[in-house]
Amino acid sequence: MPRQAGSRRSTPTLDGRSRNICPRVIQTWGEALNAKPEVTLEAYVRAFESLDPDAIVPFYRLPCMFIAATDVTIVLDAAVARGVAAKLIEHARSQDYRRTEILNLEVKTLAERLASLSGVFARFNSSGEEISRFGFVYTMLRADTGWQIVVAIAHAAPSAQK
């Protein structure tokens, strides 16, 4: 039986605790489990839009790594993953973040259970104004539970690179 809009569902987190998140995220995460990696990426972006760190942590295959132009973060467990997610969300909130568009997505199958996804994230605030644009490369691994992010690289958007 379909849930009504605004209803919530409980789901376990990586550390076994239950949490409530929007059913759209649950439905999309459920669809992403056995789907193509780009479906999981879309579900991850929608989960990020919830601004709930616990909604995005299940998309990471632990251990995982985040790489930016000035920093590398290795994430060994769910507690650290939640901290990294909270930091990313705190930054987004400070910009009045509301949504993300995925642009120029390229998906490369590297092996049966390994894929590389690259493109550009364009982020928008509550007024619909673009607040940031950056390139990304995600390496994803398909585990028994579905596709998950193993390495996340953020870089200057291709049009901004020299």
- The per-residue pLDDT for range 6-64, each reduced to its tens digit, is 333 333 334 343 333 344 444 455 555 568 999 999 999 999 999 999 999 999 999 99
- 160 or 103, which is more confident? 103
Distance (Å, rounded) from C-alpha 79 to C-alpha 154? 22
- The domain ranges of the chain are 9-160
- Please compute, for residue 99, the number of CA atoms within 13 A of its CA located in the half-sphere on the CB side: 7
Q: How far apart are CA 31 and CA 118, in angstroms?
A: 21
CATH of domain 9-160: 3.10.450.50
Torsional sign, CA 50, 51, 53, 56: positive
DSSP 147: E
pLDDT in tens, 86-118: 999 999 999 999 999 999 999 999 999 999 999
Residue 21: per-residue pLDDT: 39
Given this model, what pLDDT does residue 33 score?
A: 56
Phi, psi angles (nearest 5°) of residue 44: -60, -45
pLDDT for res 15: 39
Residue 72, beta-bridge partner list: 67
- What gap in Å lies between CA 143 and CA 139, rounded to an integer? 13
pLDDT of 155 over the 60 cut: yes
Q: Report pLDDT for 139.
A: 98
Closest alpha carbon to 79 in 25, 145, 13: 13
Phi, psi of 80 (to 5 degrees): -70, -40
Residue 30 has what pLDDT?
56
What is the predicted pLDDT for the residue at 7? 36
The tokens for 115 are 């894929």
pLDDT computed for residue 34 by the predictor: 61
Alpha-carbon span 162 to 160, nearest angstrom: 7
What pTM did the predictor assign? 0.78
C-beta separation of 23 from 46 below 8 A: no
Kindly report, residue by residue over 120-145, the tens digit of the pLDDT.
999 999 999 999 999 999 999 999 88
Rounded distance, CA 82 to CA 19, Å? 13
